[in-house]
Amino acid sequence: MHTNIKLAWRNIWRNKRRTLITVASIFFGVLLSAYMTSMQEGSYSKMVEIVVKFYSGYMQVHQADYWENKSVNNSFDYDQAFIDQLKSNPEIDLVIPRLESFGLASAGELTRGSAIFGIVPEIETQLTGIADKIVSGKYLQATDDGVVIGDGLARFLKLSLNDTLIIITQGYHGVSSAGKFPVRGIIKHVSPELNKSIIYMELKTCQNFLGAENKLTSLVVNVADNDVMRKVLKKLKSEIQAPFSVMSWEEMQPEVVQQIESDRAGGVIMKAILYIVIAFGIFGTIMMMIAERRREFGVMISIGMQKKKLAVILFVETLFIGVLGILSGLAVSLPLLLLQAQNPIPLTGETAKLMEDFGFEPFMFFSTAPEIFLQQAISVFAMTVLIGIYPMVATLRIKEIKALHGT
C-alpha cells in the first residue's frame, strides 16, 4: 500500500498545471462555502443571542393564558418556594422574576409606546448584562424609585439624566396607572427595536405602579445552551402543571426559528450549486487524465500490472487532489473567519436601516463553530470519493489491445 501511495503522489505532479487548477477549484469552493456558512451561522447565533440573552432567556414560566393575552391580569403570585424548586435542577443556571407590561412613555409633548420591565436588578443583569451597557448615569438599585431607559427612547423623548419620565398604562384588574419617574440611567440596548422602547424599573416599584402587589408575569429560566434546554424543557413540562405553563424561546419566537430555517434552506441550495460546479471540475479533470494516459495504462497492464492495483492508485490520486484542495481551503478560511468573527462587517445605508427595523444590529456577523469547517471538509471529501469511483471502474474495464492503440 505504501508503494501505491508513493506512486499516486508522484503521478499527480507529472502534470503540475492540471493538478494545481483542480486543487484551486476545490480550494475556492471550500473557502467560499465556509465563508458563506460562517456568515449565515454567525447571523443566526446573533439573532438567537438577542432573543435569549437580552430578552426571553431559553425558557419562561407563565400563567397559562399569559402568552396569548399579555396582560398584567394574567399574572401569578411571587412564590419563593416555587423558584427554589426550579433552581434545584442542577442544569438551570438562573431563575429571573419579571413583571412586564406596556404603556405610553411621555415627556413634554412627546409620547411613545414602551415596554415596561419590572426586574430584580442584581439578578436580571446576570442574564442580560444590562448593568454593563449603561452609557449614562447608573444602574438600578434595590428599592429604587427611578427608571433606566433605552438610548433610542431617551433621544426620541429628549430626556437626559434626572429628567422626569411620565408613564401611563392600565394596571392590574383594569386600574389606570400613571406615574412620574426620574431617569437614573440610559442604556444602549443591543436590540435596536428594544432600544427605542425599553423601560426598566425595580420590581417592587413596578408592582406598586401597576397595583399588582407581589405579582409576576414570568419567570425566566436560563440554561447553558439549546441542547440542555431541550432536555430540561421536557422535564419541566412534565413537572409544571396548571395554572402554569413553560415555553422555550423557540415556542415564544417561532418567527425567528422560521426565518432561520428558511434562510438556511436557501444557503443549502447555494452550496449545493457550488459543490456541483466543483464536482464537474474534478470529474472533468479525472476524465481528461484517463483519456491522456490510456495508452500508458495499456502498457502497464500488458507488462504485468494488475488492473486492481492500477485502479487503487488512480483512486488514491483522486483522493490526494481532493485532500490538497480541502486542506488549503481550510488553512486559509480558518484564520480569515477568526479575524472576521472578531471584526463584524458594519452595514450602512438602506440595508442598515432595514436590519434595525427588524430589530437586529446593522452588522454582518461570522461564526467559527467547528462544524462549519467540518461540514465543508466532509462534503468535499465525500464528493471526491464518489468521483474517485469513476477511474477505478474505467481502469477495470480497459481492453489492453484497444488501450495500446490509444482507443
Domain boundaries along the sequence of the chain: 2-51+256-404, 59-222
pLDDT reading at 407 higher than 60: no
61 φ/ψ sector (left φ>0, alpha ψ -120 to 50, else beta) = beta
The pLDDT, as a whole number, for residue 359 is 59
The pLDDT, as a whole number, for residue 278 is 83
15-59 pLDDT, tens digit each: 888 889 889 988 988 998 999 999 999 888 888 887 888 788 899
Rounded Cα distance, 298 and 402, in Å: 8
pLDDT confidence of 403, banded at 50, 70, 90? Answer: low
Q: Using alpha carbons, select from 49, 14, 10 the residue that is nearest to residue 360.
A: 49
pLDDT reading at 405 higher than 70: no
The pLDDT, as a whole number, for residue 382 is 92
Rounded Cα distance, 120 and 97, in Å: 7
Identify any residues that bridge with 106 across adjacent strands, giving them in sequence order.
Answer: 111, 166
Q: Using alpha carbons, select from 97, 262, 69, 72 the residue that is nearest to residue 172.
A: 72
Concatenating the DSSP letter of every residue in 198-266 gives EEEEEHHHHHHHHT-TTEESEEEEE-SSHHHHHHHHHHHHHH--TTEEEEEHHHH-HHHHHHHHHHHHH
Residues 35 and 270 sit within 8 Å (Cβ to Cβ): no
- Which residue reads 423557540 in cell numbers? 250
The mean per-residue pLDDT over the stretch 133-145 comes to 93
The pLDDT, as a whole number, for residue 2 is 75
Helix (H) or strand (E) holding 247: strand 244-248
pLDDT reading at 357 higher than 70: no
Q: Using alpha carbons, select from 202, 217, 216 the residue that is nearest to residue 147.
A: 202
